Amino acid sequence: MQVNENFEPVIVAFCCNWCSYAGADLSGTNRLNYPANVKIIRVPCSCRVNPMFILRAFQKGADGVILCGCHPGDCHYTSGNYFTRRRITLLYSMLDFLGIERNRTRLEWVSAAEGAKFAAVMNQFVADVKKLGPNRRLEDLRCRKQ
Amino acid sequence: MQETIIKRAKELLADGTVNRVIGWKRGEFVYDITPAVFETAEEIDAEFVFDDFTQANVSKYLIKESRKEGKILAFLKPCDTYSFNQLVKEHRINRENVYVIGIPGGPKLDIEKIKAKGITGILDVKNENYTLKIKTLYGEETMPFYEAISGKCADCKSKKHVVYDELIGEDGDVLESNRFDMVEKLENMTAQERYDFWRGELSKCIRCNACRNVCPACTCENCVFDNPSSGVSNKAAADSFEENMFHIIRAFHVAGRCTDCGECSRVCPQNIPLHLLNRKFIKDINSLYGEYQAGADTTSKAPLNDYNTDDCEPSIVHERGVE
Amino acid sequence: MLKISADKLNDLFDAISAKQTLYIPVDREAGSAEYKKYESGMEMSRGLNTVRSAKDFFFPQTENLADFKMNGKNIEVIDIREESEDFVIFGVRACDARSFTILDKVFLAEPVDSYYKNRRDHGTVVTMACTRPAETCFCTTFGIDPTAPEGDAAVFSDGENYFFKANNEKGQAFIDSISDMLQDGDTEKLEKIQENTREIMKKLPLANLSTDSFGGERLMEHFSSEKWAELSESCLGCGTCTFVCPTCQCYDIRDFDTGNGIKRFRCWDSCMYSDFTKMAHGNSRNSQLERFRQRFMHKLVYFPANNNGEFGCVGCGRCLSKCPISMNIVKVMKALEVK
């Protein structure tokens, strides 16, 4: 696949307040690098993320969307992320069914102690989306930057 | 069958078991049948119809009707009983106010399938030994009955009535159907082919909302797409993205609750195979979280209201099929 | 009359589309047709009518009206209007051709809708006479002759040839522009076919449907009718009838935030929708009965009241074949008929 080296994707990362957001913080305090392409949106729990949020992120210009939450079993609200897991599996499967590239969506469990993992995940995800190029299949043409 | 149904409806009205009957009313032509509520034996005699064209699922109307004074009699085909049961489970229908009579299901005829053969000016359609004799303005036409059956009947999943107070005719069984074949065929395509397929279909959408409004599982008082304060309301798809979003969310919101009654595709004026989106969710749920049939009972936990600690990760999407 | 033989039709399409954009009805899948931009080799649909009406060409389902951009504390308003290109719609049926007359009354009345007018000025409507009406057709009820359609120019088929007739100057200019491909032809067979079609029209199931019971003067009588409850009881509140209707002209205007500016757009709206009359104070039509009544009152009473008795329906029959619950204007007219 042709890779446009100059393409800088917009990545939206939904991070749960209790684990992944703290994980992102930790990766910052540890001075670990992750690309500035990643725009973090803090949510109270990964299960707050309505499928519509993910679609809307794509509409408004995201090239990739990643959802991060506490590891299964560690949810601050006991079971939120278990529901997330089922819901997001079905959503991603549906996006795949509609022919949207699989690598534009991802779910990762990142705890508050996993600053290094957060940075690694984001580096990998940005690289993957970069390979895919700009989001064209699930974009709203009206929102494309002129 | 129609006589038996009418006779029973009049009996139940006469003895006071019910004060209304929901069924189907004859139209201008042989095929344009409208769901209707009947209050008297005279109305029933004059207009009640049950034939090869009575496809409409009346269970959604019972949300409103079951909250009215008195009991209503509903005639439900096997597929309708699943929708009804699901609504009872979600506390949308007041079960005590409905007297359910299970009646035999299809296969029903779809007039569009007849028109698709280029037959126009249709004045009458008669089924003689599974050959349709079609009287038109331009002469007689014939076609095999099974070529004209509705898409939802062609993929019938069950002849069993999952809920009833009384049955007319025999009860059937859950069927082995091939209803996931088309979903599987799409899954085996490349992402580009799938994308092209769905763009071709969804770009036909005129956002009439018929699929949503007819759906017995879509029962929100105020849909997010109709609510200007939701930020995503739209009356027409101004961009292909909005076509995708509407149909993904419509199908997603009924995932785990959709009984696969097929009404969405039946009513689509543009003949978009919308049921495939719902079936994709059903197929995924069945394969990932165990076989589940919405509406089959009123006690089980819906798959999206439930979880196992060892459920698969969303990355499973990457492991299946081709991209 | 000038004619072209049927096997040369595509040559004609090629010639027209070389000069301007041409739209023709094509079969999408068996039994349903849609208008498509002509590309060489496309077959014109022989089917009766398209699922969507031809109103899209002049009044599209969505269209951008203006853009706004924020520059500091100033808002810049960008007029995005451009002169429309010339185009031809070929094969419009008599019912749809009449619908343009109805839409004109709305959009070309003061204040003129410049978006609509722009396209109307640049579009040439070439109609096609009907020969095989469907059972759902009732255009004659509204005084339309499907064998002699309106539009800028009309085309008639006798099976072997297509004959051309101009209805106005624009139509004449269109025929002049293709006259080198046309030749004089004998219309004897055509007249027989027209006569035959008129006979079929008389035998249609809805041939005797009458508008006598409707019009502006019967406003209160119909508005207060008790029949509406029964007629509307199974209405799903979807917009199918509205969106396949060639004469429904209500729209909504919304702003869309693109993230780098605002797009003000309009889109078709339906009086069947629950938020159609939603305003700051609330909603003036809270029940489906009221919404349902509005749609039919508009077509059968309010519109003629404001337009010299012209009804807001052309009898194309689309709502008859597409309504999910088969409730339609014909059933309403029959129920409300004043005996």
- Residues B293-319: pLDDT tens digits? 999 999 999 999 999 999 999 999 888
A101: nearest Cα among A133, A55, A56: A133
pLDDT of residue A81: 95
- Give Rg (Cα) of chain A: 15
A69: nearest Cα among A105, A41, A103, A45: A45
Q: Is the model's pLDDT at C30 over the cut of 70?
A: no
Q: Do A60 and C259 touch (CB under 8 A)?
A: yes
Identify the DSSP state of B178: -
Q: Cβ(B164)–Cβ(B99) under 8 Å?
A: no
Supply φ then ψ for residue C282, to 5 degrees: 130, -150
What is the reported pTM? 0.94
A143 part of contact set with chain C, CB < 8 Å: yes
Report in angstroms the alpha-carbon separations of A32 from A14, A26, A116, B217: 19, 9, 7, 48
User: H or E element: which one contains C64?
Assistant: strand C62-71
pLDDT of residue C320: 94
Identify the DSSP state of B299: S
Q: Cβ(B137)–Cβ(B124) under 8 Å?
A: no
For chain A, give percent helix, strand, coil, nearest 5.
Answer: 45, 15, 40
C2: nearest Cα among C219, C209, C187, C249: C187
- Residue written as tokens 């729209």? C251
Q: Is the model's pLDDT at C31 over the cut of 90?
A: no
Amino acid at B205: C
The C-alpha atoms of residue A43 and residue A60 are separated, in whole angstroms, by: 18
Distance from CA of C164 to the nearest CA of A (A): 42
Distance from CA of A106 to the nearest CA of C (A): 24
C157: nearest Cα among C123, C196, C124, C125: C196
pLDDT, tens digit, 9 for 90 and up, residues B22-56: 999 999 999 999 999 999 999 999 999 999 999 99
The C-alpha atoms of residue C9 and residue C24 are separated, in whole angstroms, by: 12
Contacts of B206 in chain C (CB under 8 A): 52, 61, 239-240, 243-244
Nearest chain C residue (CA) to B38: C230
Q: Cβ(C156)–Cβ(C196) under 8 Å?
A: no
Q: Do C31 and B206 touch (CB under 8 A)?
A: no
Q: Strands C123-128 and B131-136: what pairing?
A: unpaired
Q: Which of C64, C260, C262 to mutate to test the interface with A (most CBs of A within 10 A)?
A: C260
Dig out the tokens for B244 from the structure: 């995708």
Q: Cβ(B69)–Cβ(B34) under 8 Å?
A: no
The C-alpha atoms of residue C266 and residue C64 are separated, in whole angstroms, by: 6
- As a whole number, mean pLDDT of residues C138-152 equals 95
pLDDT of residue C196: 93
Q: Cβ(B22)–Cβ(B42) under 8 Å?
A: no
Contacts of A82 in chain B (CB under 8 A): 307-309, 311
Identify the DSSP state of C259: S
Distance from CA of C68 to the nearest CA of B (A): 17
pLDDT of residue A12: 97
Nearest chain B residue (CA) to C333: B28
Q: Do A145 and C263 touch (CB under 8 A)?
A: no
Partner-chain residue, chosen from B240, B242, B303, that has the shortest CB–CB distance to A86: B303
B319: nearest Cα among A92, A71, A70: A92
| Partners of residue B133 on adjacent β-strands | B126, B142
Q: Cβ(C294)–Cβ(C271) under 8 Å?
A: yes
B303 part of contact set with chain A, CB < 8 Å: yes
pLDDT of residue B231: 81
Q: Do A142 and C256 touch (CB under 8 A)?
A: yes
Per-residue pLDDT of chain B (323 residues; tens, 9 = 90+): 899 999 999 999 999 999 999 999 999 999 999 999 999 999 999 999 999 999 999 999 999 999 999 999 999 999 999 999 999 999 999 999 999 999 998 899 999 999 988 899 999 999 999 999 999 999 999 999 999 999 999 999 999 999 999 999 888 899 888 999 999 999 999 999 999 999 999 999 999 999 999 999 999 988 999 888 888 888 888 889 999 999 999 999 999 999 999 999 999 999 999 999 999 999 999 999 999 999 999 999 999 999 999 999 999 988 876 66
Please give the angle made by the CA atoms of C180, C183 and C184, to the nearest 5 degrees: 145
Q: Which residues of B306-316 are buried (b: 16+ CB within 10 A; e: fewer)?
A: bbeeebeebee
Q: Cβ(B316)–Cβ(A96) under 8 Å?
A: no
Contacts of C320 in chain B (CB under 8 A): 28, 32
Contacts of A58 in chain B (CB under 8 A): 241
Count H helices, E strands: chain C? 12, 14
Report in angstroms the alpha-carbon separations of C39 from C36, C42, C90, C123: 9, 6, 13, 18
Partner-chain residue, chosen from C204, C233, C268, that has the shortest CB–CB distance to B236: C268
Contacts of C68 in chain A (CB under 8 A): none
Q: Is the model's pLDDT at C205 over the cut of 60?
A: yes
pLDDT of residue B238: 86
pLDDT of residue C46: 82
Q: Cβ(C323)–Cβ(C240) under 8 Å?
A: yes
Sheet with A11-16: list strands edge to edge: A38-43, A11-16, A64-69, A105-109
pLDDT of residue C63: 94
pLDDT of residue B320: 74
Contacts of C259 in chain A (CB under 8 A): 60-61, 143
Cβ of A43: how many Cβ atoms within 10 Å? 20
pLDDT of residue B322: 62
**Cis ω on the peptide bond leading into residue C205 (within 30° of 0)?**
no
Distance from CA of A83 to the nearest CA of B (A): 6
Q: Do B323 and A94 touch (CB under 8 A)?
A: no
Q: A-contacting residues of B 32-71, CB under 8 Å?
A: none
A94 part of contact set with chain C, CB < 8 Å: no
Q: Would the CA dihedral through B59, B60, B66, B68 be positive or negative?
A: negative
Orientation angle between helical segments A51-59 and B240-253, nearest 10 degrees? 170
Q: Do C258 and A146 touch (CB under 8 A)?
A: no
pLDDT, tens digit, 9 for 90 and up, residues C159-188: 899 999 999 999 999 999 999 999 998 889
pLDDT of residue B233: 83
Chain A residues bordering chain B (beta-carbon distance below 8 Å): 51-52, 55-56, 58-59, 72-73, 79, 82-83, 85-102, 105-107, 137-142
pLDDT of residue A146: 67
Alpha helix positions (H), chain A: 20-29, 51-59, 80-97, 115-132
Identify the DSSP state of A101: -
Contacts of C30 in chain B (CB under 8 A): 116-118
Q: Do B35 and C325 touch (CB under 8 A)?
A: yes
A145 part of contact set with chain C, CB < 8 Å: yes
Please give the angle made by the CA atoms of A76, A82 and A83, to the nearest 5 degrees: 105
pLDDT of residue C22: 97
Supply φ then ψ for residue B2, to 5 degrees: -60, -40
Interface B:C, Cβ pairs < 8 A:
138
Partner-chain residue, chosen from C234, C278, C328, that has the shortest CB–CB distance to B61: C234
Interface A:C, Cβ pairs < 8 A:
11
Q: Cβ(B139)–Cβ(B114) under 8 Å?
A: no
Cβ of C202: how many Cβ atoms within 10 Å? 9
Q: Cβ(A19)–Cβ(A56) under 8 Å?
A: no
Nearest chain C residue (CA) to A57: C259
- Residue B302, C-beta contacts closer than 8 angstroms, at least 6 positions apart: B256, B257, B292, B294
Q: Cβ(A40)–Cβ(A67) under 8 Å?
A: no
The C-alpha atoms of residue B79 and residue B104 are separated, in whole angstroms, by: 10
pLDDT of residue B188: 93
Q: Cβ(B312)–Cβ(B290) under 8 Å?
A: no
Please, which pLDDT band fits residue C72 given cuts at 50, 70 and 90?
A: confident
Partner-chain residue, chosen from A85, A106, A137, that has the shortest CB–CB distance to B195: A137
Per-residue pLDDT of chain A (146 residues; tens, 9 = 90+): 555 668 999 999 999 999 999 999 999 999 999 999 999 999 999 999 999 999 999 999 999 999 999 999 999 999 999 999 999 999 999 999 999 999 999 999 999 999 999 999 999 999 999 999 999 999 999 998 86
- Maximum C-alpha span of chain B: 65
Of all residues in chain C, what percent carry a pLDDT higher than 90?
89
Q: Do A140 and C263 touch (CB under 8 A)?
A: no
Of all residues in chain B, what percent carry a pLDDT higher than 70?
99
Q: Do B235 and C278 touch (CB under 8 A)?
A: no
Contacts of B317 in chain A (CB under 8 A): 89, 92-93, 96, 102
Contacts of A46 in chain B (CB under 8 A): none
**Neighbouring chains to B with at least 3 Cβ pairs closer than 8 Å:** A, C
Please, which pLDDT band fits residue C77 given cuts at 50, 70 and 90?
A: very high
